[in-house]
Amino acid sequence: PNDKNILDLDNVRGKITSNQRSTIYIVSDSAEYNSSTLDSKFYKNVVINYEDKQITCENFDINMDTNIAIAYNNVVVTDPKSIMKAGKITLNIETKEININPANKKTKVQINKL
């Protein structure tokens, strides 16, 4: 209510397109979109599809100024050959570089081959 640039969204369907990269599709129960910065915060039952990979998580934030997207809270990455569980994944939208981290120092990133 205090910032007219921020939109609260329900039952969200979005995509990130590029002339040089494959489209990233995003679905979530809810999101917050800032129309002045183009930043988005997706939350609750987030599903991200990119090529043959699917990422599920509870939160997914995109900062368009830095081209950084962060998936966190119960992150699971599935591709045709494996399933990976992590605490947080940071993705550079432009370069597609990925940084994968465990939930905390006492846990590890878990990868299971299919």
pLDDT at 102: 80
Retrieve residue 104's tokens.
């905390």
Q: Are 24 and 10 in contact (CB under 8 A)?
A: no
Pairing of strands 40-50, 53-63: antiparallel
State the pTM of this model. Answer: 0.85
* pLDDT in single tens digits along all 114 residues of the chain: 577 888 899 999 988 887 777 888 999 999 999 988 889 999 999 999 988 999 999 999 999 889 899 999 999 999 999 999 989 999 888 887 888 888 777 777 777 776
Other C-beta atoms closer than 10 Å to the C-beta of 68 total 16
Biggest CA-to-CA distance, the chain: 48
Interior CA angle at 110 toward 71 and 44, to 5°?
A: 30
Alpha helix stretches (DSSP H) within 3-112: none
3-class state of residue 47 by DSSP: strand
pLDDT at 57: 97
